[in-house]
Amino acid sequence: MRFLAWREVRHSPVRFGLIAGLVALTAFLVFVLTGLTVGLGAADVSGLEKLPVDGIVYAKGAASDLSRSGLPAGDRALIAKVDGVEDVQPIGFTMADLTEGQNSVSAALLAMDPTAPFGPKRDGVVLDNQARGKGLNPGDTVRAQPGNVALKIAGFADLGSIQHAAVAYLPLADWQRLRNAEGVSAFAVTTRSDAALAAIEQAVPDTEPVTKAAAINAVPGYQAETGTIGMIRAFLYAGAALLIGVVFWILTLQKEGPLAVLRATGASRRLLIGAYVAQVLATALAGVLVGAVAGVAMGVVMPPTVFVLPPGEVAAAGALLLAVALVGAAASIRRLFTVDPLLSLGRTA
Partner 1 sequence: MTATLNDIRHGYGDVEVLHGVDLDLPAGELVALLGPSGSGKTTLLAIAGGLLTPTGGTVHINEAPLYVDGKVDRKAAGDTAYVLQASSLIGFLTVRDNLLVRDITAGRRTTDADRERAADLLDAVDLRSKADRYPSQLSGGERQRAAVAAALYTQAPVILADEPTAALDRHRGRAVMELLARHAHERNAAVLVCTHDERALDLADRVLRIEDGRLG
Residues engaged in binding partner 1 (CB under 8 A):
1, 3-4, 7-8, 11-12, 255, 257-258, 261-262, 264-268, 271, 341-342, 344-347, 349
- Least separation in angstroms between residue 275's CB and partner 1 is 9
Among residues 78 and 264, whose Cβ is nearest to partner 1?
264
Alpha-carbon span 179 to 326, nearest angstrom: 58
Q: Which residues pair with 210 in a beta bridge?
A: 56
Q: How far is the CB of 3 from partner 1 (least distance, A)?
A: 5
CB distance 100 to 145 below 8 Å: no
Least separation in angstroms between residue 322's CB and partner 1 is: 24
Residues 6+ apart with CB under 8 A from 315: none
Q: Are 132 and 156 in contact (CB under 8 A)?
A: yes
- Where helices occur in 125-180 by DSSP H, the ranges are 172-179
CA distances from 281 to 255, 286, 311, 335 (A): 18, 8, 21, 18
| CB nearer to partner 1: pick between 12 and 106 | 12
CB of 279 to partner 1, least distance (A): 11
Distance in Å, CB of 261 to partner 1, minimum:
5
H-run or E-run covering 41: helix 13-49
- Whose Cβ is closer to partner 1: residue 15's or residue 152's? 15
Cβ proximity to partner 1: between 301 and 349 the closer is 349
238 φ/ψ angles, rounded to the nearest 5 degrees: -65, -40
Instruction: State the minimum distance, in angstroms, from the CB of residue 338 to partner 1.
Output: 15
CB 62 within 8 A of CB 84: no
Considering the complex, state which of residue 271 and residue 298 has its C-beta at the smaller distance from partner 1: 271
Cβ proximity to partner 1, 21 vs 341, nearer residue: 341
* 134: phi then psi, degrees, rounded to nearest 5: -110, 25
d(CA 182, CA 49): 26
Q: Which residues contact 291 (CB under 8 A, 6 or more apart)?
A: 23, 24, 25, 26, 27, 28, 29, 30, 31, 321
**CB-nearer residue toward partner 1: 334 or 347:** 347
In the complex, what is the shortest distance from the CB of residue 19 to partner 1, in angstroms, rounded to a whole number? 15
